[in-house]
């Protein structure tokens, strides 16, 4: 079986990470190729999978479509997996022209209205939709447009060995108690709420030796820096920028915070939990499939007061914090192995 992944992203993110993890895992057993655009993706490709760099200018990019058509025919591609919204049309067209089976991968909760273009992609030229959380499947199948049998929940895989090697040397902690928050600095990720909740907790009348690492870059970076200065948090707030190895920070941190308003199941959340961070996140996407609140972490509203209250509880009760960390790690190891993800994907590709 030859599996071709399409990823037209301009920058690295969780979806791109999943693409390379899935291709790398499947490539150990089957033939796998990634068609990509951004240098950040190309330089991370595992050596054992195929590489095809393309312009991916638009859905109607005839150069990209033509090269992909010839590649699919020449290299006998059986399965096409499109991973970005722009790629869904390309994947459907390739399926129409070549007969290769097309699967869409959808990593966040996103409604699909019953339109002509969506019918072309998802009804006529899509063998199945791969999602990483039951919540996404529920949203997709709420109407009569997409049947439940065509949506497959495949949990993200975590490469535990690679993660432990990358985290072997934890980052140096500037304070005894450290929080970490990571991701693309965009409004959806809720970093402004994280800063506000952190300030409220720091200002609750008790002196704390604590700090916050912000790992990531993006269009909100300067505004968040300004917000931190306005709050007077300069000595406790550390903007670390984009990190190729955020795991050293997760390994050192006491708490990992993710306050997105829309997610699937975040890779960063799983990785931080495996590295024994006490996780604090929202119910967005599939977090409830990972965390029972108060057991493997905390599920809160996207609210600064809620974050402040949970941070106080974790900081004041170190026994509670230790239990959250250990149970969170065990939950990730139990459910989110790379082997399980690979085997589930192979079964879906063979049966649909």
pLDDT of 97? 96
Burial of 165 (0-12, 13-18, 19+ CB in 10 A): exposed
Domains present along the chain, CATH in parentheses? 2-157+337-351 (3.40.50.2000), 161-335 (3.40.50.2000)
Neighbours of 83 (CB within 10 A): 25
The model carries a pTM of: 0.87
The model's pLDDT over 22-50, given as tens digits with 9 standing for 90+, comes to 999 999 999 999 999 999 899 999 999 99
pLDDT tens readout for residues 126-159: 999 999 988 889 888 887 678 899 999 999 999 9
Per-residue pLDDT, 206: 84
Q: Which two tokens stand for residue 43?
A: 């330089």
User: Which two structure tokens, joined as six digits, stand for 179?
Assistant: 């929080």
- Give the model's pLDDT for residue 144: 66
Q: List, for residues 43-59, the tens digit of each pLDDT value.
A: 999 999 999 999 999 88
The average pLDDT across 187-197 equals 96
* pLDDT at 80 (0 to 100): 98
Q: Give the sign of the dihedral formed by CA 9, CA 12, CA 18, CA 21.
A: positive
User: What's the pLDDT at 273?
Assistant: 97
Kindly tell me if the per-residue pLDDT of 60 is higher than 80: no
Q: Which tens digits make up the pLDDT trace of 273-311?
A: 999 999 999 998 788 888 999 999 999 999 999 999 999
Distance of CA 32 to the CA centre of its chain: 21
Indicate if the pLDDT at residue 252 is higher than 90. yes
Q: Output the furthest CA–CA distance in the chain (Å, rounded).
A: 68
Mean pLDDT of 162-167: 94
Q: What are the pLDDT digits (tens) for 303-347?
A: 999 999 999 999 999 898 999 999 999 999 999 999 999 999 999
User: Contact at 8 Å (CB) between 104 and 117?
Assistant: no
pLDDT average, residue stretch 89-97: 96
Mean residue pLDDT across the chain: 94
Dist. CA 182–CA 190, nearest whole Å: 11
């Amino acid at each position: 079986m030859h599996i071709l992944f399409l990823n037209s992203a301009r920058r690295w993110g969780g979806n791109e990470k999943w693409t390379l993890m899935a291709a790398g895992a499947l490539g150990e057993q089957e033939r796998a190729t990634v068609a990509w655009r951004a240098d950040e993706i190309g330089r991370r490709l595992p050596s054992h999978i195929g590489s095809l760099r393309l312009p991916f200018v638009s859905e109607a990019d005839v150069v990209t479509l033509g090269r992909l058509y010839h590649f699919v025919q020449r290299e006998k591609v059986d399965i096409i997996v499109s991973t970005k919204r722009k790629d869904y049309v390309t994947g459907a067209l390739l399926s129409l022209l070549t007969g290769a089976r097309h699967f869409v991968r959808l990593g966040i909760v996103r409604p699909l209205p019953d339109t002509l273009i969506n019918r072309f992609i998802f009804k006529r030229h899509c063998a199945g939709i791969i999602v990483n959380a039951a919540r996404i499947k529920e949203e997709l199948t709420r109407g009569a447009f997409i049947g439940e049998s065509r949506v497959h929940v495949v949990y993200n895989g975590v490469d535990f060995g690679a993660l432990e090697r990358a985290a072997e040397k934890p980052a140096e902690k500037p304070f005894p108690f450290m929080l970490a928050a990571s991701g693309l600095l965009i409004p959806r990720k809720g970093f402004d709420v994280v800063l506000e909740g952190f300030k409220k907790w720091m200002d609750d009348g008790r002196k704390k030796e604590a700090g916050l690492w912000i790992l990531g870059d993006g269009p909100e970076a300067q505004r968040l820096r300004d917000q931190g200065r306005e709050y007077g948090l300069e000595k406790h707030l550390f903007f670390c920028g984009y990190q190729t190895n955020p795991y050293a920070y997760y390994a050192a941190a006491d708490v990992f915070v993710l306050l997105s308003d829309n997610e699937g199941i975040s890779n960063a959340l799983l990785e931080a939990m495996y590295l024994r961070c006490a996780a604090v996140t929202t119910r967005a996407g599939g977090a409830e499939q990972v965390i029972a609140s108060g057991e493997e972490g905390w599920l809160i509203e996207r609210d600064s007061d809620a974050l402040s209250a949970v941070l106080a509880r974790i900081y004041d009760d170190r026994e509670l914090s230790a239990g959250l960390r250990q149970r969170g790690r065990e939950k990730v190891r139990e459910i989110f192995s790379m082997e399980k993800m690979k085997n589930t994907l192979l079964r879906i590709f063979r049966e649909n």
